[in-house]
Every structure is written in C-alpha cells, then in structure tokens.
Chain A
Amino acid sequence: DAGVIQSPRHEVTEMGQEVTLRCKPISGHDYLFWYRQTMMRGLELLIYFNNNVPIDDSGMPEDRFSAKMPNASFSTLKIQPSEPRDSAVYFCASSDPGTNQPQHFGDGTRLSIL
C-alpha cells in the first residue's frame, strides 16, 4: 500500500511568497495531521482533521498559516506571506480512528524561506 505522500520534498523560496504544501493521506484513514519540526521547537502539531473537518487548529502559529482538506484524499497547508522563521520540515500524517491507532507519517517537506 502507498503510504502518506507529501509534495514537494524540498521547497526554497523568498520571503513574502506564498507556499503551498500538499498531502495525500493513506486511503481510508479518517484523521489527518499537519506537524512542523525544527531544531529549536521540536515536533509541533499545527492542525488536525477528522473526516475532512478541522478539529483543532490551536497549533497554527499565525493567520499567515491556513490548511484545507477539500476531500478525503487531499490536504494543503498554505503560508502567505512566508517568512524566514517558517523554515522547517513540515510533516503530514494520517491514521485510522481510535486511540490505539498509530499515525503514519509522510517523508516531509523541507521548507527554506530566504
């Protein structure tokens, strides 16, 4: 089975530009999570969805960040305008429902804002 697919794997752009990160979860998974990982702050949960509906976006750092899940097989995380401090690795993960179900992570998008 295909795992969680993220694109692009790497993104380098100048500050002020719009950045869009994409995620395709594992088919049949009801939950989708977006994380950010940096050396300074570790792994941070940004937002998560259940059945395409955002459940908790309290981790989204600012209004510059937005996430959507228009259908069960696709989600985007947008940053507009981007800033150098947004540079990080962004992970998407998905899981089956149930507290005993593990999350399956994509390989991440390494974002560099110049």
Chain B
Amino acid sequence: AQSVTQLGSHVSVSEGALVLLRCNYSSSVPPYLFWYVQYPNQGLQLLLKYTSAATLVKGINGFEAEFKKSETSFHLTKPSAHMSDAAEYFCAVSDLAGGYQKVTFGTGTKLQVIP
C-alpha cells in the first residue's frame, strides 16, 4: 500500500534561511507525488506535483522539490524563507486502488519563520 512519511511535525527557520521539508514515500509503482500548503483558516492548495516528466519540480512561491527514486524521497525546498511561508505543508502520494484514484496525505509539517 502506498504511504508517505513526513519527518518533523514542526520546523523553524529564520527569515532568509533555507527551507527543507522532508517527505519519503512508499509505493509499489512509480508514484505521483504532490506537495500542498495550508494557510490558517484555509483549505489545502497545490504547491507542486511530480508526474515523472522531470525529477526537479518547480512550484509556486519559489518552492521546488526533487524526486529521488534511490532514496524514495520527495523533499521540498526553498532557498530563502519569507515570513509569508509560515503555514502547514503536506506531502501526498496518488495511486490507483481498485481502479479508482487513491490519495494518501502525510501528517503535515508546520513551518515557522522567525524574523
């Protein structure tokens, strides 16, 4: 069964520092992977998705993620954190189950940006 593991439920970085949010997946087939962001009092929004076209995926707001099959990882990075990046981030994997789309979300990582 597919699954994703997000290491670290809370991450704190200083404004301007590198952001690194970790996600490891488990899937029996080449996965479709996603990162979502959730701002307070809002639903989840798509940041970026991996669909095997390229291992380095660029998303919105300066975020990017690199798919590494050998490490079964899809970590999210941003070179320089901004205060507005404070939010909760979810990694997700999509697969087929019984012929239907099945999406599994990670437990989320809350990013705090310190001025």
Contacts and interface: CB of A to CB of B under 8 A. Distances in A.
Interface of A: 4, 31, 33, 42-43, 45, 50, 55-56, 91, 93, 95, 97-108, 110
Contacts of B90: 43
Contact of B103 (A4, A42, A103, A104): A103
A107 B108 contact: no
B43 A106 contact: yes
A93 B43 contact: yes
B41 A101 contact: no
Interface residues of B, number: 24
B101 A107 contact: no
The 4 A-B pairs of least Cβ separation, nearest first, read A105-B43, A102-B46, A100-B51, A99-B94
B44 interface: yes
Contact of A91 (B32, B44, B94): B44
B103 A43 contact: no
Given A55-B100, A99-B96, A105 B45 contact: yes
27 contacts: A31-B101, A33-B103, A42-B108, A43-B90, A50-B100, A50-B101, A55-B98, A56-B100, A91-B43, A93-B43, A95-B101, A97-B101, A99-B95, A99-B96, A100-B94, A102-B34, A102-B46, A102-B49, A103-B46, A103-B103, A104-B46, A105-B44, A106-B43, A107-B42, A107-B43, A108-B42, A110-B41
Interface of B: 32, 34, 36, 41-46, 49, 51, 90, 94-98, 100-103, 105, 107-108
A107 B98 CA distance: 29
